[in-house]
Amino acid sequence: MKNIVLGITGSIAAYKAADLANTLTKQGHDVHVIMTEAATRFITPLTLQTLTKNKVCTDLFSLDDPKHVEHIALAQNADLFLIAPATANIIAKAANGIADDLLSAALLAVWKTPVVFCPAMNTAMYENPITQKNIKTLVEGGCYFVEPREARLACGDVGKGALADTDTILQTVSCILNSSL
């Protein structure tokens, strides 16, 4: 059993994170979810808590357990950090060391733990040179990316930016976890 932190950001694809959390939990992993405030507008923390049987973390300044700092403890105990969906915003924050919410602070505290980003955004946002530079920075820093699919997006555009299929994400997670044994 591995400890997996699942970061969920504010994308319409956030509902697919429930399937990821459910499958990873059924595979025997201990899944801890961090949701951005925007993610909670697409899917509720209660859904993820029910599926993972763990408290869902949303607040950087939560004092649920004053004996440990939540974003540090989550980062230190993770065997893998999975961000699905990963918006352009969280990719930019991670690439530039911005830690202004629980998820970005936990990402900044991760050291030597595999981090997997699964982008989901509009094609123009994904192909924007700034986003591509941020992705390159994170890849050069050792992070993994699961490429988005080309599809009709929520906005009606057709292009690359749809969250990768759940099976593709799970296969990547499995390969990374098995290589780090």
Which active-site residues does the annotation give? 155
Say if residues 8 and 14 touch (Cβ distance below 8 Å): yes
Q: Give the C-alpha distances (Å, rounded to integers) separating 180 from 72, 79, 84, 122.
A: 21, 9, 21, 33
> Phi and psi of 155, rounded to 5°?
-80, -10
Q: Which residues contact 13 (CB under 8 A, 6 or more apart)?
A: 84, 85, 120, 162, 163
